[in-house]
Amino acid sequence: MILRKGAWLAGAFLLFAGAATAQVTAINGEVKGEDGKPLKDAVIKIERKDIRGNYKTKTGKKGDYYYGGLPLGLYDVTLEVNGKDVDKTSGVRTTISDTRAVNFDMKALKDRQQALTRAAETGTLSKDQERELSPEQKAALEKAAKEKSQALAKNKALNDVFNVGMTALNAKQFDQAVDSLKKASEFDANQDVVWANLAEAYSGLAQTKAGPERDTALNSAFEAFQKAITIKPTQAGYHNNYALALARGKKFPEAQAELQKAAEADPPNGGKYYYNLGAVLVNAGQYDPAAEAFKKGIELTPNYAEAHFQYAVCLSSKMSTTADGKTVAPPGMKEELQKYLELAPSGPNADAAKAMLGALDSTVQTNYNNPNAPPPKKSKKK
């Protein structure tokens, strides 16, 4: 009986001694950022999967971390950066007296994800790559592939109808161009090129109409130009063409404002836009402002021959005649005509420039002779 009791006590002591021996392990590792350098202060989350247990630590200056005293078990280790989980290693089983290394390399992860994305987009995913994808990644890639397929189909339809519209526009078939380009704008309302060419189609259509139909087409052109400019306000050509359409509608102040915007958006071609501004003002009978516009165009593009000629024409409105019938040109007019002939000796206005210069060197007849009056009688010799 005593022996049995002793044996029981010995067994109890052994059981107690066994329970007092802790079976713990550790997990450590290194973390590198997207730049390939050690990442400090990244959060490492350690979650036990066989029973409940959550642990957390941070990386040090060298991007390393260590968490000891973990019970033996199965763990998921997650990397958190800036409050977001960016990588995860699942199923890490620890063993007695052994430290499990779990490293994270965000640069390698990014490269791998990009490779997976490219493979998914091109349909070249390998079996190993497919197994590497998480359910969330698979769902995201499937969604992206579907959206890309829909976008490609939409773009094809847009391109097809846009090309039909452009063919019609180039052939001056404005009604057909308007119909096709309107459909293109409905496929994608954010394409500035579509709106700009639709505006050109309406503008061309307006020139084939009269009365209310012409006004309606012009107003539609104005609206389309405004949409193109809203999408791409720095496109000088849109401002220039909008201004020309406004001029056809006799909206000269608005046209002037658009041409100035064109010149500001494209300084190297500013001379061309100010020339157009001068032409608009001449058509409005505003010769002084037109002269200033042509002069500005010459300042920006000194060898712009037609700007020199038109500037001289504007100056000609200030020509005067002296009492003895001599024509007097305003300052600069003669020099502008001469510059035009120097730059464009056989230009479209060369003959006109020569005629104007000839007139400046002549005397205007100031007395009147009746061509139907009888000739004077000859006096008899005495």
Structural domains for the chain: 20-106 (2.60.40.1120)
Q: Exposure of 332 by Cβ count < 10 A (0-12 exposed, 13-18 middle, 19+ buried)?
A: middle
Q: Which residue has the tokens 């056989």?
A: 346
**pLDDT exceeds cutoff 80 at 374:** no
Q: 249: closest CA among 296, 297, 299, 199?
A: 199
**pLDDT exceeds cutoff 80 at 367:** no
Confidence of residue 16 (pLDDT cuts 50, 70, 90): very low
pLDDT at 121: 66
Confidence of residue 54 (pLDDT cuts 50, 70, 90): very high
Confidence of residue 4 (pLDDT cuts 50, 70, 90): very low
**pLDDT exceeds cutoff 50 at 369:** no
Q: Between the CA of residue 134 and those of 52, 81, 89, 137, 337, what are the distances in Å?
A: 23, 19, 12, 5, 77
Of all residues in the chain, what percent carry a pLDDT higher than 90? 55
Confidence of residue 286 (pLDDT cuts 50, 70, 90): confident
Across 174-202, average pLDDT: 94
Instruction: State the chain's mean pLDDT as an integer.
Output: 84
Decide which of 23 and 80 is more confident: 80
pLDDT at 261: 93
Does the pTM of the predicted model rise above 0.75? no
